[in-house]
Amino acid sequence: MGEMVERGRDGRLSIYSRAFLGLMRRDLCVLSREIAPFLIRVAMNPLLFLFVFTYVMPHMNSGAALSPAAGMSASGGGFGTVLLPGLMAVAIMFSGIAAVALPLAQEFGITREIDDRVMCPLPIAAVAAEKIVFSALQSIIAAALVFPLAYYIPSTPVLAHVNSWPFMIAVLLLASLLAGALGLTIGTSVQPKQIGLIFGVVVVPITFLGCVYYPWAALGHDPHIKWLQIAVLINPIVYMSEGLRAALTPLEHMKEGYILLGLVVFLFLLTSVGMKGFARRVVS
């Protein structure tokens, strides 16, 4: 009897694995047909930001007074060094949201395309997990594309090297999965017609308050904004930016243990909320 139960369990796991990989292959096929729009979407924003603020402005007359790079050298590098991990974090976040939240807005729309997915032999939670994993893959690709842009475009040298490969890989994987979980939470919490509003109300504010354009440690240097250093800790993008900053640059940063803890906690919370919302929207 025990052997029959074990065989049944192994059989289900085999079916689930094949179904999960089948969904991944389907999504990869779709991505391969839309690779050009994907690359443009990922590269355009960091390319323009880097070109204007780290290449054009430093070459202008009085550029030192106009550029955000002024005053950054004392902390271990120019503005390009600050931006490198921040823009990688933004690319990861936007890729995760674009890969999950935007497609869900269509799949939960009038056509109910989501029904095709949930008909495969997988638990509903596993279908949601596949979306997070696939978005994480896109986020890693996005971060890899942004790195050479943020390293070579700035007119001032960018100080970057990997201090610890295990820490770098852990941060990259956790941040990519977290971005997918954030996209799942947004996509299942907002009505399809309101998904565009979320970018202005939620995504843009958490980006500017996510320590993308400045180190988290720098917020504590002025007592007038010390409160902001504490307040931004509820923002998951802070831990993405600081994790990549700690792994890639000599700048001041949050302690590695706190970074990993923050990434894991927010990954667990957003995955839990997103999967519950996904299940609710599917059966509604």
8 A C-beta contact, residue 188 and residue 105? no
- Which one, of 252, 251, 255, 253, lies nearest residue 78 by Cα? 251
Residues 145-177: tens digit of each pLDDT: 888 888 888 877 888 888 889 999 999 999 999
Residues 101-142: tens digit of each pLDDT: 888 877 776 666 676 777 777 788 888 899 999 999 999 999
8 A C-beta contact, residue 128 and residue 181? no
Residues 218-275: tens digit of each pLDDT: 898 888 888 999 999 999 999 999 999 999 998 888 999 999 999 999 999 999 999 9
90-101 b/e with 16+ CB inside 10 Å = b? Answer: bbbbbbbbbbbb
Cα angle 10, 11, 15; round to 5: 115
8 A C-beta contact, residue 242 and residue 209? no
State the pLDDT confidence band at 74, using cuts at 50, 70 and 90: very low
Q: What is the mean pLDDT of the chain?
A: 83
CA distance 263 to 270: 11
Give the least confident one: 69-73, 114-118, 130-134, 191-195: 69-73
| Residues of the domain holding 221 | 2-283
Domain count for the chain: 1
Query: pTM higher than 0.75, yes or no?
Result: yes
